[in-house]
Amino acid sequence: AQKVTQAQTEISVVEKEDVTLDCVYETRDTTYYLFWYKQPPSGELVFLIRRNSFDEQNEISGRYSWNFQKSTSSFNFTITASQVVDSAVYFCAGGNNRLAFGKGNQVVVIP
Amino acid sequence: NAGVMQNPRHLVRRRGQEARLRCSPMKGHSHVYWYRQLPEEGLKFMVYLQKENIIDESGMPKERFSAEFPKEGPSILRIQQVVRGDSAAYFCASSTGGNSPLHFGNGTRLTVT
């Protein structure tokens, strides 16, 4: 069985502040993939990143960065210098073919 | 290069009617997944299909729900005799298989009145 935990439900930040979203993925699988998706108010799901369980190297893409630590099963996501357009629900997901999703983090960036 | 196309975007049905949701995968993708998102919840896996085959339907309710992905044409998620509890956003995703990333459509928002 897989379980994805995103503890924070709603996070409000003032524009230009950093925001970090926590995700813990629990599984009995030894190999798996982890994902982050963004769901803006318009409702579509936007793929942000995929990491495999062997790769613990941190990754940065523009204002986004990800930190994966297999020992703690955590795959955290940081938005640096947040902007109003970052306001959305962010989902962490994990698995192989069949993904399990967390309940999401609602991020509100206040101008 | 069109992404995953889902239609309709919004669907309203009365209790007891049938709902048909369509999904055309990205070009070159032969694997389709259906997920359901209840209000203020994350996505829940329903079914995984490859052309003409159901690979994993462990997330599908046992009654009233069915899915297909024919050799030609879109994948269809069919809900018979809808009830209010079926109101949700239904997302389709496609991939090239294996562990390739899932690309999601914009979803179909089903409202049962």
Running DSSP on this structure, what letter comes out for residue A72? G
Residue range A40-50, pLDDT digits in tens: 988 888 889 88
Q: What percent of chain B has pLDDT over 70?
A: 99
pLDDT at position B1 = 53
Chain mean pLDDT for chain B: 93
What tokens appear for A93 in the block?
Answer: 């997901």
Question: Would an 8 Å CB–CB cutoff place B11 in contact with chain A?
Answer: no
- Is the Cβ pair B104, A45 closer than 8 Å? yes
Instruction: Determine the Cα angle at B102 with ends A50 and B36, to 5°.
Output: 115
Give the model's confidence band at B70: pLDDT under 50 very low, under 70 low, under 90 confident, else very high: very high
Amino acid letter, B56: D
- Please, what's the b/e burial string for B88-100 (b: 16 or more CB within 10 A of its CB; e: otherwise)? bbbbbbbbeeeee
Q: Hey, is A70 helix, strand or coil?
A: helix
Average pLDDT over residues A90-109: 91
pLDDT at position A70 = 84
Say if residue A80's pLDDT is above 90.
yes
Preceding amide of B8 cis, omega within 30: yes
Angstrom distance (rounded) from CA B54 to CA A29: 23
- Identify from B30, B43, B55 which residue to disrupt to test chain A contact, counting A C-beta atoms within 10 A and taking the largest count: B43
